[in-house]
Amino acid sequence: MSLIAKYRTLGLKLTPQRIAILDYLEGNITHPSAEDIYSVVSKKFPTLSLATVYATLGSLKALGKVLELTIDPDKKRYDLETAKHHHFMCTLCKRIIDIPATNVVHFPHDIKQDFSVIESQVEYYGHCPECK
């Protein structure tokens, strides 16, 4: 299925700017911020606004097609990989990588009785091989 057909079936309005944003995101594993996306896509579409990037990301988030990450305290990042996984962020270069969700963190039994867990996310912080 083509990129356009994939998102058209979701009911997403597809303008040339939105298609360029989706094309940039497709297969992108760098966990870009809205500003990162804008910086790249606006070179091809100088009339693109940052508001359009945020609106597109908001629509994708509402459709469950992008995760909004808060692992970076400086800015929100976005991840098209919506299957359950964790993240590692290098505190020096700010690179974020996906970590398979093979390790399970158990909710404490004494608290579990009173709460209902809807979602969990494990975040690791440290130094990547290039920075250490």
pLDDT in tens, 28-58: 999 999 999 999 999 999 999 999 999 999 9
55: number of CA atoms within 13 Å, CB side? 12
**Residue 122, domain CATH:** 3.30.1490.190
pLDDT at 4: 84
Same domain, 115 and 89: yes
Secondary structure of residue 4 in the 3-state scheme = helix
Asked if residue 131 belongs to a domain, the reply is: no
Decide: 80 and 64 in contact? Cβ < 8 Å.
no
Same domain, 61 and 92: no
Same domain, 10 and 73: yes
Distance of CA 50 to the CA centre of its chain: 17
**Residue 29, domain CATH:** 1.10.10.10
Q: How many domains are there within the chain?
A: 2
* Percentage of the chain exceeding pLDDT 90: 70
DSSP letter for each residue of 65-92: SSEEE--STTS-EEES--SSEEEEEETT
Does pLDDT of 1 surpass 70?
Answer: no
**Structural domain span for residue 33:** 3-78
